[in-house]
């Protein structure tokens, strides 16, 4: 088994802080991109479904969550 490096409490807390900051930055970056490109992302997800719809028809969702359960 590997010899694990012993760390004091402050080193553990520093590592935890670094992980939390990196996670927060990742969430902020992806949320920002989703906000800016939301319509394009939605169109990309719905493209296969729109291809198989009959000509002249459209998608109608009757509830706020209906768009998430189209499969």
Q: Within a domain: residue 33?
A: yes
Return phi, psi of residue 48, to 5°: -60, -35
Count the domains in the chain: 1
Confidence of residue 3 (pLDDT cuts 50, 70, 90): low
Report the candidate in 56, 54, 50, 55 with the shortest Cα–Cα distance to residue 70. Answer: 50
Q: Within a domain: residue 60?
A: no
Q: Within a domain: residue 18?
A: yes
Q: Within a domain: residue 22?
A: yes
> Average pLDDT over the chain, rounded to whole?
85
The structure's pTM equals 0.59
Confidence of residue 1 (pLDDT cuts 50, 70, 90): very low
pLDDT of amino acid 17: 97
The rounded percent of the chain whose pLDDT value lies above 90 is: 37
Q: Within a domain: residue 44?
A: yes
Q: Within a domain: residue 36?
A: yes
**Domain that residue 15 falls in:** 9-52
Confidence of residue 21 (pLDDT cuts 50, 70, 90): very high
Q: Within a domain: residue 65?
A: no
Instruction: Report the C-alpha gap between 3 and 52 in whole angstroms.
Output: 58
Q: Within a domain: residue 15?
A: yes
């Amino acid at each position: 088994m590997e010899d694990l490096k012993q760390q004091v409490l402050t080193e553990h807390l520093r590592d935890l802080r670094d992980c939390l900051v990196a996670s927060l930055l990742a969430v902020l970056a992806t949320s920002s991109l989703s906000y800016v490109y939301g319509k394009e992302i939605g169109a990309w997800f719905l493209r296969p479904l729109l291809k198989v719809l009959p000509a002249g028809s459209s998608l109608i969702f009757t509830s706020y969550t209906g768009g998430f359960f189209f499969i």
